[in-house]
């Protein structure tokens, strides 16, 4: 059974940084598509970033240039470095993985993810 556990969330002010981590057990993340999503309040969950087994990354336009997704294969963890945070980044953040053979985009991962973390809150105040 694959288990994902997020950590590193919190409350910061505009312009500050946070680093989220996702510890994965039960699956070798180096083999699969894995990524981050977020859900602001009652709005729909949206893709933030993905990373595939070949290291290819994708980002949503809203975070491109500010967020960086990385993967530590030795520790089987996924990270999201979030710089220059804005109030609109306030959301619950989730990591997700698909152990299926999928094109590693945010839309495909959203549909084909077979494991999700429990979510972690990030709040950015102005």
Positive/negative CA dihedral, 102, 103, 105, 111: negative
Positive/negative CA dihedral, 46, 49, 6, 23: positive
The pLDDT confidence band at residue 106, using thresholds 50, 70 and 90, is very high
Interval 34-45: pLDDT, tens? 999 999 988 999
Positive/negative CA dihedral, 81, 85, 88, 92: positive
- Distance of alpha carbon 45 from alpha carbon 4, whole angstroms: 17
Beta-strand pair 91-98/115-116: antiparallel
Determine the pLDDT at residue 84.
Answer: 98
The pLDDT confidence band at residue 58, using thresholds 50, 70 and 90, is very high
Interval 4-41: pLDDT, tens? 999 999 999 999 999 999 999 999 999 999 999 999 98
């Amino acid at each position: 059974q694959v288990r994902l556990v997020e950590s590193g969330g919190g409350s910061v002010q505009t312009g500050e940084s946070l680093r989220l981590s996702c510890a994965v057990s039960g699956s070798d993340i180096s083999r699969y598509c894995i990524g981050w999503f977020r859900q602001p309040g009652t709005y729909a969950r949206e893709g933030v970033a993905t990373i595939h087994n070949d290291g290819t990354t994708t980002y949503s336009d809203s975070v491109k240039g500010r967020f960086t997704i990385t993967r530590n294969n030795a520790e089987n963890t996924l990270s999201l470095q979030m710089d220059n945070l804005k109030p609109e980044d306030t959301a619950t953040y989730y990591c997700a993985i698909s152990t299926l053979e999928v094109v590693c985009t945010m839309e495909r991962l959203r549909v084909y993810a077979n494991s999700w973390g429990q979510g972690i809150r990030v709040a950015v105040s102005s």
